[in-house]
Structure formats: C-alpha cells, structure tokens
Amino acid sequence: MSALKYTKDHECVLVKGDTVWIGITPHAQDALGDLVFLDLPDIGKKVAKGGDVAVIESVKAAAEVYTPVAGEVVEVNKAMAGDLDLIKSPVNDNGWIVKVKVADASALNELMDEAAYNEYLKGLD
C-alpha cells in the first residue's frame, strides 16, 4: 500500500498515471460513523485543488471530500452511492469515491505517505 498518499483532511489518494483515485481514510470513516448518503459530482466537472468533489452525510454530520489536485472528474463510484459500506474498502479496490484526471502533477508532492500520515494522526490526539 505504499503507493497510497494522504491529505490532512483525511482523504486517501491512489495515483495511477495521470489520474488520482480519491477515497477517505479509516480515521475519517470512524469520525463520521454510520453513513446515510453520498452526493457524487458529475463526470466532466472541473475541480480546483482543495475544492470539494463529493459530500458524505452520516447520522452525525455532513463532510466534504476534497481533491488534492486540480483537474477533471473522469469517473464516479456509482456502486458506492447504493452501497455506502464500500467506502470502508481500500481505495485501490472499491473504496474510491471519484477519479480525477490531474491537471498539475506537482500538487501530488504535497501529499503524505503512510508513515507521515500516521505521525500526523498522533498529533491530533
């Protein structure tokens, strides 16, 4: 799983060529609790780095899913909208929410690897 990258907003990102697969981390899943709804973007939507690409609603709150890169939404996980438990799957399996074609790959350098993300989580306690 060393190919996975992480954001401070608890997105999990898999980089595959010029596309990133975006999901949420187990930490975010735990914080949200029981999920009730997922609002997916339209394919073709242009997104800005740091902009929201989806909204997850739980019994506790609603949370935006942010993109760490600017680009264009090229695929959405429609199966997840009907089966919210898929969000608990690894992002490189069925746990991805959206796939975004990257406009500027330099933004990927700002993402954390797993070890750095785990250290970041320790600082949140």
CB 117, CB 25: distance < 8 Å = yes
Task: Supply the CATH classification number for the domain 4-104.
Answer: 2.40.50.100
**Averaged pLDDT for residues 26-51:** 94
Cβ neighbours for 34, distance < 8 A, ≥ 6 positions apart: 58, 59, 60
**Averaged pLDDT for residues 49-67:** 94
Query: What whole-number percentage of the chain has pLDDT above 70?
Result: 98
Domain boundaries, the chain: 4-104
Determine the pLDDT at residue 87: 94
Quickly count: other Cβ atoms within 10 Å of residue 26's Cβ: 13
> For residue range 95-107, what is the model confidence (pLDDT) as tens digits?
999 999 999 999 9
Determine the pLDDT at residue 61: 87
- E runs forming strands in the chain: 4-6, 11-16, 19-24, 35-39, 46-47, 52-58, 62-66, 71-76, 98-102
Alpha-carbon distance of 65 to 96, in angstroms, equals 11
